[in-house]
Structure 1
């Protein structure tokens, strides 16, 4: 094994790297050193990794991913590593405890190579913070990696790691996966073991998982982190679905607008592919939401989560959280939440309950729901900057993020699949969702789509395989 051949290992998914290690063709130390070399080569340009864990692990557990390097999103604790959550408030914070979720990852043999960039507290759909700076999309350096798991997506797309932990509270796995040409799966609510020390309404909507290049890495990752006491564990889904599906579809966003023409072309191609594979695709009327009210409720819940963080910090030190310790958008969310008074969360929960009823009523009788992942092409850096005004950021977010949040609110499994790679443009993902608990069905469909339209060799220009 020549460590100078950076592209050789970068082209392999996590399962393949683990298999090399198990056969003795490469050691865990060599996998780790090669990962460090790749990070050193491209992280200064793309900036997806905010903390690098340079010390080789003293011990690697025997497991399905034994020796495979990966990244942990900075939203989650990892003992001994800085845990900032993208915020200047926690710039010097170092995690001490391991989470139950993290213990599962360690037991699988995965080796943490560092922490990946995110938006502050994960509440903005672009990875550009006042603490860490901008994370660049490897398909076009002027474009955002989106967010909030932008660092994880960029690191995988660039070949720095084969897979990376990510979390999704409204599309934060699926949207960066779409923007970077990767597979992004969000499990059903409650599917995995806990990954947080605290609880909030926003946390309850958030699913932990990973962003990967291959479906099998994602499926194996889920089997290793799922809560086996939940009654019906998924296990390791290994093969394409064997039956034909009835698929409901629409293109209108929750705000009542249609996607950009390039997104519509990607969607039309996906419909044609599904029909070719024998599935029945039926256009239906999208669920009826009071869109402004639903959007307001979503960001009320986000604001409540940030307000809870501020309150906990205020209780632990003499000086309250200062204005320059949070980004302007985070403060705006907190202020908007506090202005609504003590019934704000009750109101948001009521709005969510109505939206969930409308969604399930519209999709009853269908196996899968198909939409675009985002309504626009990935935006330019600065389009969702945290220093912009709250109202403008909410307006721009509503235009682009019109499909994914309802699945967090409803607890559904959902995924973005990289089926469209326009010549000279950025990838555009296609979105699929199923009823809560039907994670295995979606993964089986993903395998089938991966076979029909392989994407593993689609590398962006600023990636290890493209440059080396």
Structure 2
């Protein structure tokens, strides 16, 4: 999209081998021989090309395989997809969204990439993310942003913005995403998708996270249907299951059990949600009550200093990347990192002495969070305190003091689940913004409660099917 083009709705749905299938439906069509995996890969690549000039979602195009050999029996055998560009994929460079170094081709697949590939997917390339995944929007100082296919004048969210834009636009049915503070759930909310951040340890961990004092990151996907997310988790468990967590298996629909669900409209750190966001939550409360669940207001007892502590830890991550950046590329220069990364790093250096106390308090957050769940099965809240902003509002070119204030009043709900390690799923609410942009709500649970989350998400989807761009 150029400066002279009007914002628009962009999608790639057409009468080809992908049709209107989600990933489960497309894999079934391939298994039945109705379409071939090579034909599907070619048509997906054509769809990507059709929307990429407007969305800017792709970081690296891989080769479209002439004769894909999907893993027999894989849940997504032959389904085309993309891997987020902070995860190594053999032969493709990993750039982490940064202009501070020249990325080099990966020599091997990352552990999660191997787990993802075990489902049978065909990887067509890598999707864009903001620098090091730090931002809730996929924007840059000196490059075109990733744009929201529902309205290209708005953000696609972050940090898995490229993946979300491609899936929402219908270019591919699913795409890899990961979440260290909301980076699956935020772009899912912005783009009208399903995005589940699994329990810490539900899928294989990446090597970098294991070295940190507090592992915030979980990998997963963004999808257009609940059943695709459920099928992904079942397939991931077939490859590797964490014996410390209850087995999940394949969740195939709503449950008949009635749950006690808490809800909150304003964030634990005191940020008040905007009217459209509050309305989306209250509409979802009414739906859950009509479906037979008991829903009641709740106020999680999160420490008032949680936001400052999370910001300090966030800054520590930026500082560590500045110190260890040469492991990414020999020409790494932290002076070339963007304004958000620099601001986080510089702020941390002023407060680094707080680090031991910050780590202790963040580790203790699980106690307050568990207390909030007493007598409850799940908690419902907004994904974000504000509806999806226009491009530029959260750009890393915005002066850091203004930018960080905007981010903290926008991303006010999702980080708690990353610190505690609990699962959380974003689904589209029934309502939308005045511009037609989706609004997301999240349902969060105790560690290992993905089944309950998926069952509730299935019920919401069945009650009022999620809007699709192709239907506008």
Considering the TM-score relative to the shorter chain, is it more than 0.5?
Answer: yes
Stretch moving more, 228-237 or 154-163: 228-237
* Cα separation, 1, equivalents of 2:389 and 2:147: 11
Q: CA deviation at 1:466?
A: 6.1
Alignment of 1:126-205 (within 5 A): 126-130=137-141, 132-197=143-208, 199-201=210-212, 204-205=215-216
Q: 2:287 maps to which residue?
A: 273
| Residue of 303, 316, 332 corresponding to 1:304 | 316
Alignment of 1:407-426 (within 5 A): 407-422=417-432, 424-426=435-437
* Cα separation, 2, equivalents of 1:320 and 1:433: 38
**Structure 2 unaligned runs (5+)?**
1-11
Q: 1:42 maps to which residue?
A: 51
Q: CA 1:83–1:203 in structure 2 vs 1: closer, same or farther (change >3 Å)? A: farther
What TM-score do you get using the length of structure 1 for normalisation? 0.92
Q: 2:243 maps to which residue?
A: 230
2:69 is the counterpart of 1:55? no
Q: CA 1:302–1:285 in structure 2 vs 1: closer, same or farther (change >3 Å)? A: closer
Q: CA 1:266–1:309 in structure 2 vs 1: closer, same or farther (change >3 Å)? A: same
* Partner SS, residue 265 of structure 1: helix
* Cα separation, 1, equivalents of 2:317 and 2:399: 20
Q: CA deviation at 1:124?
A: 0.8
2:408 is the counterpart of 1:394? no
Q: Is the 8 A contact 1:223 1:234 kept in 2?
A: yes
Deviation sequence 1:75-109 (CA, Å, 0-9, x none): 11111112101001244322111122211222211
* Partner SS, residue 437 of structure 2: coil
2:428 is the counterpart of 1:384? no
Stretch moving more, 147-156 or 388-397: 388-397
* Cα separation, 1, equivalents of 2:13 and 2:331: 50
Q: 2:7 maps to which residue?
A: none
Q: Is the 8 A contact 1:211 1:218 kept in 2?
A: yes
**Structure 1 unaligned runs (5+)?**
none
* Cα separation, 1, equivalents of 2:328 and 2:191: 39
Q: 2:3 maps to which residue?
A: none
* Cα separation, 2, equivalents of 1:170 and 1:316: 22
| Residue of 29, 39, 44 corresponding to 1:20 | 29
* Partner SS, residue 446 of structure 1: helix
Q: Is the 8 A contact 2:202 2:242 kept in 1?
A: no
Q: 2:361 maps to which residue?
A: 351
| Residue of 437, 462, 466 corresponding to 1:451 | 462
Q: CA deviation at 1:320?
A: 6.5
RMSD: 2.2
Q: CA 1:349–1:31 in structure 2 vs 1: closer, same or farther (change >3 Å)? A: same
Provide the aligned length of Structure 1 versus Structure 2. Answer: 455
* Cα separation, 2, equivalents of 1:47 and 1:203: 33
* Cα separation, 2, equivalents of 1:284 and 1:5: 45
* Cα separation, 2, equivalents of 1:53 and 1:320: 24
Q: CA 1:264–1:206 in structure 2 vs 1: closer, same or farther (change >3 Å)? A: same
Q: CA 1:10–1:300 in structure 2 vs 1: closer, same or farther (change >3 Å)? A: farther
Q: 1:370 maps to which residue?
A: 380
Deviation sequence 1:224-265 (CA, Å, 0-9, x none): 224414242212212212200000111111331321111111
Q: CA deviation at 1:278?
A: 0.3
What TM-score do you get using the length of structure 2 for normalisation? 0.91
* Cα separation, 2, equivalents of 1:222 and 1:441: 13
* Partner SS, residue 100 of structure 2: helix
